[in-house]
């Protein structure tokens, strides 16, 4: 698939890639536009755009609040698609959608895939859709060349990891610790043993997220994973310092 190929090409030039996260419509689409531009100009390699949902169960308080505020401002799925189309036409890096399955179900799964493919989305991250319940989803992912990104957790057995990896494409999202997004992660021996298990079971590039906050964290996974994911920290930064702080922050991560 094209996402896997694009990552392989990027990794020819960098020892670790950066993936950042935004919640669409938070604090506004205008701010999203400025943040994405700064991310790309500062060297981000791919961007995960979250379509807001009322019950984002994998997310911590920072991203939950961003989802709630975006929805309170009236953000619609169609607006998210239109914004994504603009970003993909403007910036030459892969863009992914992250959301929850109810969004696809309500919109119409086939229509959502078709519309996302038409604008150039390269991957979907749907945390609440296990492969056992996503047969049609996985078939459509192949049909539309949109990578289904599946998730490993520290609680995943080796057997479960292999099942997930067999259904995934693009990369595997490795949750760095138990719990939800936003809290600090301890990069200790137990973490490294977990990442070693992920590597053995995956057969795809590994992205590590949940608690990546600074260059020290990125360095902790360099050589062990291909992608560092910065999510809640980006939203905190924009909340506290404004969109103009994003570029310098990203530039300091590598």
- In sign, the C-alpha dihedral spanning 160, 163, 167, 173 is positive
Which of 164, 173, 211 lies closest to 7 in space, CA to CA? 173
Residue labelled with tokens 């531009």: 37
**Rounded distance, CA 133 to CA 104, Å?**
14
Give, in order, the Cα–Cα distances in Å from 72 to each of 3, 68, 133.
33, 6, 30
In the residue annotation, 59 being an active-site residue is answered as yes
- Out of 34, 41, 48, 82, pick the active-site residue: 48
In the residue annotation, 55 being an active-site residue is answered as no
- Out of 45, 59, 226, 233, pick the active-site residue: 59
Which residues are tagged catalytic? 48, 59
């Amino acid at each position: 698939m094209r996402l896997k190929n694009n990552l392989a090409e990027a990794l020819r030039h960098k020892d670790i890639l950066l993936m950042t996260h935004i919640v669409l419509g938070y604090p506004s689409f205008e701010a999203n536009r400025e943040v994405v531009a700064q991310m790309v100009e500062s060297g981000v390699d791919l961007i995960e755009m979250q379509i807001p949902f009322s019950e984002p169960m994998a997310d911590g308080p920072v991203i939950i609040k961003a989802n709630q505020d975006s929805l309170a401002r009236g953000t619609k799925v169609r607006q998210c698609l239109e914004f994504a189309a603009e970003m993909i036409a403007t910036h030459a890096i892969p863009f992914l959608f992250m959301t929850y399955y109810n969004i696809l179900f309500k919109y119409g799964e086939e229509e959502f895939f078709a519309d996302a493919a038409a604008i150039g989305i390269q991957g979907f991250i749907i945390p609440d859709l296990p492969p056992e319940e996503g047969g049609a989803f996985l078939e459509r992912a192949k049909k539309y060349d949109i990578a289904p990104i599946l998730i490993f957790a520290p609680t995943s057995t080796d057997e479960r990891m292999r099942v997930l990896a067999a259904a995934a494409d693009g990369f595997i999202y490795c949750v760095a610790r138990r719990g939800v997004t936003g809290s600090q992660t301890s990069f200790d021996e137990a973490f490294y043993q977990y990442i070693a298990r992920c590597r053995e079971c995956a057969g795809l590039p590994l992205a590590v997220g949940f608690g990546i906050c600074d260059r020290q964290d990125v360095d902790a996974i360099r050589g062990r994973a291909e992608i560092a994911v910065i999510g809640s920290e980006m939203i905190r930064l924009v909340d506290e310092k404004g969109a103009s702080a994003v570029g310098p922050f990203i530039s300091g991560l590598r």
